Amino acid sequence: MNPVLALLLEAAVKYAPVLAIELAQTLSKDKVTDADWDALKAKYYGKTYEQYISEAPPCKPA
């Protein structure tokens, strides 16, 4: 398998279920509270690109 594709599929398997659950929980909320807004803002507001890009682990031997 193309290694880039393998990586993307791995990412899809890793993140899509978490995203699906998060979206389902978000969209099914009956009532949004101030605490929900505060939690959302605390999680994302001001988050930088560098905070997403982790230090690369050592490469596995081929």
Partner 1 sequence: MNILKHNAGALLAAMLAIATFGGCITAGDNAYKAIASTEATVDAAMKTWDDYVAWKACQAGYDESQWRRQQDDVKLAYTTYRTAMNATYDARASYIADKNAGGTKLSSALEAAKAAASTLGNLVRVYAIK
Angle at 56 between CA 53 and CA 60, to 5 degrees: 145
Examine residue 35 and tell whether it contacts partner 1 (CB under 8 A).
Answer: no
Measured distance CA(44)–CA(36) in Å, rounded: 13
Tell me, rounded to whole angstroms, the distance of Cα 21 from its chain centroid. Answer: 11
Size of the site for partner 1 (CB under 8 A): 41
Calculate the dihedral angle through the C-alpha atoms of 55, 46, 22, 10, rounding to the nearest 10 degrees. Answer: -20
The nearest distance, CB 61 to partner 1, in angstroms, is: 10
The nearest distance, CB 42 to partner 1, in angstroms, is: 10
Residues that bind partner 1 (CB under 8 A): 1-5, 7-12, 14-16, 18-19, 22-23, 26-27, 29, 31-32, 36-37, 40-41, 43-49, 52-54, 56-57, 59-60
